[in-house]
Amino acid sequence: MPRRSRGAPAKDQRHKRILAALATDPTVRISALAADFGVSGETVRRDIEELSRRGEVRRTYGGASITHAGVQPELSSRERMAVAERARIGVAAAATVMPGEVLMVDAGSTTAHFARALAARAIPVTVLTNSHAVAAELGGKVGVRVVFCPGEFDAAERAVYGAETDAFLRRFNADTAVIGATGLSPEGPTDAESRASWVKRAMIGRAARRVLLADSGKFGRTSIERICGWDGLTDLVTDTPPPPDLDAALRRAGVRVDIAGVV
């Protein structure tokens, strides 16, 4: 049995630190935990398997997630997670937008990266969004028209939601909808917030091209509400190839998978 490095935390301490990490981040990665603890990836994998058997965490592709399907951290916390990966995803997705397109973009940390990358391209587009962060990134850019949805403002998410938001979106047509999700399973993308799922469904229902942006920390996670089946989307932009079961579901649905490169 491999010995842990001198000064590395004992098993019970590692378990406490894994659970503490999940209190602020909905997913943790084996590679990051191993580096932090000074132990092998196999040691952390066994820790996660034990915590999973006890029902304290859910095993995911390459790591673990919180077990509560209806919980996610606030946007301010999510903005500090997987920053490099989400930035790459945003750049890759923005690179596919054509001048003159009409876009619908929902609220989230990854879609904010997309908006930032799109603003840097400086091309004429029209963007309908319920996200203050997306509107702030694109508002005032030459050639960019931002249409902000009505609704009830949520300060924590910096976005608007509700029946008025849904009805407003359904009045418009778009070339492309760009959405995020909190979990990706073979059945489709899921979200921890029902009101956010309503907005996402309204957007993908009005667009010819329907793009999901999600980092690999979402692989294997299942949140409370399914947004749609994979046949409801045309594209997935992520940072690493999906695991076999998810990859098979994407192929069956004909979803194009774009793996974002290093920026």
pLDDT per position as a tens digit, 135-192: 999 998 999 999 999 999 998 888 999 999 999 999 999 999 999 998 899 999 999 8
Instruction: Say yes or no: 103 and 17 in one domain.
Output: no
Residues 99 and 121 in one domain: yes
**In which residue are the tokens 């951290």 written?**
73
What Å distances lie between residue 31 and 16, 17, 214, 241, CA to CA?
17, 15, 19, 16
Residues of the chain above pLDDT 90, percent: 60
Q: Which of 90, 98, 77 is nearest to 116 (CA)?
A: 90
User: Stretch 202-208: mean pLDDT, rounded?
Assistant: 98
Task: Flag whether 238 is in a domain.
Answer: yes
Identify whether residues 125 and 207 lie together within a single domain. Answer: yes
Q: How far apart are CA 92 and CA 170, in angstroms?
A: 27
The pLDDT assigned to 2 comes to 46
Residues 83 and 60 in one domain: no
Q: Are residues 126 and 203 in the same domain?
A: yes
Please tell me which residue, 1 or 154, carries the higher pLDDT value: 154
- Domain carrying residue 61: 11-65
- Same domain? For 59 and 152 the reply is no
Q: In 10 A of CB 175, how many CB atoms?
A: 16
The domain total for the chain is 2
pLDDT above 50 for 70: no
Q: Do strands 152-154 and 125-129 pair parallel, antiparallel, or not at all (unpaired)? A: unpaired
| 160 & 219 share domain | yes
- More confident: 219 or 100: 100
41 and 142 assigned to the same domain: no
**2 assigned to some structural domain:** no
Question: Is the Cβ–Cβ distance between 179 and 212 less than 8 Å?
Answer: yes
**Confidence label for 68 from pLDDT (cuts 50, 70 and 90):** low
Q: Do 183 and 243 share a structural domain? A: yes
Q: Are residues 157 and 227 in the same domain?
A: yes
Is residue 20 domain-shared with residue 92, that is, in the same domain?
no
Asked if residue 6 belongs to a domain, the reply is: no
